[in-house]
Structure 1
Amino acid sequence: MQHLRLWPSQPRQVARIVLTLGAIALSIGATVRVALDFAELRQVDAVVRRLDTALTGDDLTPIGDALRQANQLRDRLTSQAAKQTLGVQLAQEQRELAFELQSAVPIDAAKQFIEERQYARARRLGQTVQWLANYLSTALEADEAVQLQLDSSSNLRFFEEIEGWIALRRFRASPGNRTSELEAQFIRANYPAIYAENIEVFQGRAQQKFTNGLRLLESGDLQGALQSLEVAVLLDPSQPEYRQRYEELKDRLNGS
């Protein structure tokens, strides 16, 4: 009985089969590579869209998470096409972000949050802006990073002092009670520049307290008058008349 030959005996036939199998393997590999490239490019597109959305809003808080996600994706990518695409997009987004940090947009957003008493949002925005400044100082080219630091210094100073601005808003919102006194003390001790810049706010409240103290004094409410005069001195210690009337009444009550 004749044996069935399963493998060709001629070397030329063997070579042809090997080449065909190699071509098929290469074709499959290329197909898999294309599929992986496509999948990673879709991930890049999603990340870039998120970055674009974060940059178009007035609140820059979401941009921090979007940038972290983009950098994490870059570390995971295996496709050269996807890596190159993300690198180009990140460089462009970083330059746009540097421009945003130099503009009035983040400060305007923070001031609006503070005015609306959304203090937590203002703090998060401040933390994001400071993180972005640090991030861009290493992500940008050296000369661009130096220029960013110079151009955004006033913006960064605002966010470094954001607790002072929050305290000022609380002071303005308070009706002149003990809380407002503490806010004023906090601002003057820790943020003298904010105190000096808004001195008319404190002077106006001090004048009200002084006038109220004199009115209470005339009506015979000596303790109430003393408290009002004390607050006037605390809010505006530059007025000698406030301190003089306060010390006189205090000595009177102490029997001096």
Structure 2
Amino acid sequence: MSEILRLDAVSRHFSGLKALSGVTLRIDKGEVLGLIGPNGAGKTTLVNAVSGVTPASSGKITFMGRDITGIKTYQAARLGLARTFQIVQPFAEFTALDNVAAAALFSQPGESLKSAREEARAHLAFVGLEAQAGQSAATLTLAMRKRLELAKALAMKPKLLFLDEVNAGLNSAEVERATQLIHQLAASGITIVMIEHLMKVVLNVCTRIAVLHNGVLIADGPPREIIKNPAVVDAYLGHQYAQRNAAHG
């Protein structure tokens, strides 16, 4: 497999706090990587560093062979780096269609509004929101807003897609629907990095798992190895989870 993203000794400091500390990580094209760890472990900070929201304090980030350390968000979008946000904040007064069209125009500035809206309609259909295309985003349920967030990310034509807690706040049926969408995206060839607390989803979807704790990468490997790793059990999963998992197989 060929590499799409590499982080070399990436750190991010906020005044005295080390949110990321010397993280080195490689992601290959077509992978679905689960990024897990306790709250405050540095997961979203890592995504922010790659996508240009808050640049790395030190280290190097390479995307498709190009040094993107310190890149701006619009540059990242135009290169094919897209992400969803844990707290979804669509343009409330815009329709669902125009929210997605706006994302397309942000990442492909030469595109016409007409073609952006046509693309937006296709992305809404993919996530099951075709019937809500004309509704204002403010009227959508949380599950629908999460799917709208995904449609916006897809409108940016991502080569690498970061999914930040797409299942947070959803019920089991909605989680099942979101998981199916992630499987479809992976099958289409998009490389995915997902921050996720639901281990059932991580084990169902991910081909590899990386674990952060206090800004440090403490484990990286196949899912079945990671959930048995003593450092991961201590830092995140807990011994009850490990015991239940051992009992089931």
TM-score band by shorter chain is under 0.3
**Larger RCO (CA under 8 A, 6+ residues apart):** 2
| Larger Rg, first or second structure (1 or 2) | 1
Higher helix share: 1
